[in-house]
Amino acid sequence: MNTIENDLQKEYAMRFSAMAEHRIAVWKVLIRDFFQSRIGSNKDVLDLGSGWGEFINSVEAKTRYAMDLNPEAKERVENGVVFLQQDCSQRWELPDNSLDVVFTSNFFEHLPDKQGLLSTLREAHRCLRPGGRIICMGPNIRFVKERYWDFFDHYLPLSDYSLSEGLQMANFRIESAIPQFLPYTMSNSHPRPMLAIRLYLKMPLAWKVLGQQFLVTGLKA
């Protein structure tokens, strides 16, 4: 294991281990009450920057893929999930037009630079079928501001505007761009009741007060 992979394992353990069960529960609610209807059923779905697999283990799909550079992520995904351990900015180990949805959450901010992000977006475009979509969630620097830098492995500050431009440069059409969606973190040292999360998802007006993460969706023509 190289130094980068070892550092990834250490960071994931420091950040996620204490709240692992709560994170799983949160993602089950997010998928059931919000994301699944936007993903559809019987789709080929890739979780980009899959981490400990909270999303890909819970989403309903025909074929589920997970991509992460951390080798430990392979042990976190369920049997039946195809795991791709690689640098996302390099050519993906998938054929052209093989995916319906690429989903990514709180991942792009960990990339070292915008060229790496653009290469990643272009690979997503290559692998998506016509009409396929990329769904991107992450901290919006316009609202998070200096709190963005509270995490050691945050490098690339993005907003809904800058990510939308990057997607367009990779030949996506912007389907929707929500500047404020979820709070900066949905699972911290003060776990939120699942009922509160369900109610929050049904109250877009609350997003404009508490939301600090963007939700941007691009379509491949």
Q: Is residue 65 part of a domain?
A: no
- Residues 20 and 26 sit within 8 Å (Cβ to Cβ): no
What is the reported pLDDT for 10? 65
Q: Is residue 189 part of a domain?
A: yes
Phi, psi of 99 (to 5 degrees): -125, 155
What is the reported pLDDT for 3? 66
Q: Is residue 81 part of a domain?
A: no
Q: Is residue 160 part of a domain?
A: yes
Specify the CATH number for the domain of residue 119: 3.40.50.150
| DSSP string covering the chain | --HHHHHHHHHHHHHHGGGHHHHHHHHHHHIIIIIHHHH-SS-EEEEET-TT-TTTTTS--SEEEEE-S-TTHHHHSPTTPEEE-S-TTSPPSS-TT-EEEEEEES-GGGSS-HHHHHHHHHHHHHHEEEEEEEEEEEE-HHHHGGGGGGSTT------HHHHHHHHHHTTEEEEEEES--S-S-SSSSSPPPHHHHHHHHT-HHHHHHH--EEEEEEEE-
What angle (nearest 5°) sits at the alpha carbon of residue 64, between those of residues 172 and 80? 165
- Residue 199, domain extent: 16-40+91-220
What is the reported pLDDT for 12? 63
- Residues 170 and 108 sit within 8 Å (Cβ to Cβ): no
Q: Is residue 128 part of a domain?
A: yes
What is the reported pLDDT for 64? 98
What is the reported pLDDT for 17? 65
Q: Is residue 9 part of a domain?
A: no
Structural domain count, the chain: 1
- Distance, in Å, from the CA atom of 43 to the CA atom of 57, rounded to the nearest integer, reads 14
Q: Is residue 184 part of a domain?
A: yes
Token readout for 29 is 């609610």
What is the reported pLDDT for 16? 61
Written as tens digits, the pLDDT of the chain (221 aa) is 666 666 666 666 566 666 788 999 999 999 999 999 999 999 999 999 999 999 999 999 999 999 999 999 999 999 999 999 999 999 999 999 999 999 999 999 999 999 999 999 999 999 999 999 999 999 999 999 999 999 999 999 999 999 999 999 999 999 999 999 999 975 555 677 999 999 999 999 999 999 999 999 999 99
Q: Is residue 11 part of a domain?
A: no
- Residues 220 and 129 sit within 8 Å (Cβ to Cβ): yes
Q: How many residues make up the chain in this entry?
A: 221
CA atoms within 13 A on the CB side of 123: 18
What is the reported pLDDT for 66? 98
What is the reported pLDDT for 146? 96
